Amino acid sequence: MLAAVLVALGSLATALVFAIGLRAARTRVIALCGLASVGCALGASGWWAASGASELATRIALSTLSIAGGLAHGVVFSIAALPKAKTWTRLVLVPLGMWTGTFTAMWFAVPAAGSFLGWTIVLLASGTLTAWCLLPFWSHERGFVLQGERRIPSVRFPCPRCGTRVDWARGVMACTDCGLFVHIDWPADELHAAEGHPVILRPRRAVRFACPECSREGEWPCGDSACAGCGLKVSMHWNVHRHV
Ligand SMILES: [Zn+2]
Ligand SMILES: [Zn+2]
């Protein structure tokens, strides 16, 4: 009974990840598949509890939870903020965790799984675990981006086009993953006073990040705006041709 409840809780935890993944264009499909497996895992854990731990219900619940876990890993590693030089690691790290989930699901599904499968899972799982240990260091928000020797102040928010978390340097910078150019400037008092401002691009979209001056979290629209806390003027533009 307790184990069935733990599986249900685990499924709900991955569902939170999928809710975030749904908002990013690049992980929408994985998140939808993930939600489907969460539904199966929740149903099977209910059956597990109701059936008094029938073997079939147990196997289905653990397999679908493993698949959901692998897909949740895929979402996290697809949209986590990584420095430009490390974005290629997604090609390895995203499938690594998804394979771990799939092979673990096979382990639970096949009644007499061999030791080959067992060792494959141990190998994949240790790689996945290492990736999770590295992630906090790699995606730590430092408040600046290195360009050569220079430290350019940055703010972090999801790319308006692909949804990946990016540390956007002050000035013009391309998304580390899809290449969308975002122009962001602060303090932008002069820009705001200039002819032609405020420039509002349609559709008027906003992104969320902490004010680079006073660290107050807020919504910043595409165009010109000012911090509600300290009044810092920020100018931000991007041009998404394909509205997502
Ligand atoms: Zn992007
Ligand atoms: Zn502020």
pLDDT, one tens digit per residue, over 134-176 is 999 999 999 999 888 899 999 999 999 999 999 999 999 999 9
Residue 179 Cα, ligand 1 centroid: separation in angstroms?
6
Integer Cα distance of 47 and 39 in angstroms: 12
Q: Report pLDDT for 200.
A: 60
Strand partners for 226? 233
Contact 168, 162 (CB under 8 A): no
User: What six digits make up the tokens of 111?
Assistant: 């009644």
User: What six digits make up the tokens of 191?
Assistant: 């820009």
- Tell me the CB-side half-sphere exposure of residue 128, using CA atoms within 13 A: 24
From 50-59, 178-187, 189-198, the region with the lowest mean pLDDT: 189-198
Residue 140 Cα, ligand 1 centroid: separation in angstroms?
18
- Cis link prior to 212 (omega < 30° from 0)? no
> Which ligand has the minimum distance to the alpha carbon of residue 211?
2
The pTM (predicted TM-score) of the whole model is: 0.89
> Which ligand has the minimum distance to the alpha carbon of residue 164?
1
> Which ligand has the minimum distance to the alpha carbon of residue 155?
2
How many residues would you count in the chain?
Answer: 244
| Chain segment 219-241, per-residue pLDDT in tens | 998 888 899 999 999 999 887 66
Q: How confident is the model at residue 114 (pLDDT cuts 50, 70, 90)?
A: confident
| Chain segment 14-32, per-residue pLDDT in tens | 999 999 999 999 999 999 9
> Which ligand has the minimum distance to the alpha carbon of residue 182?
1
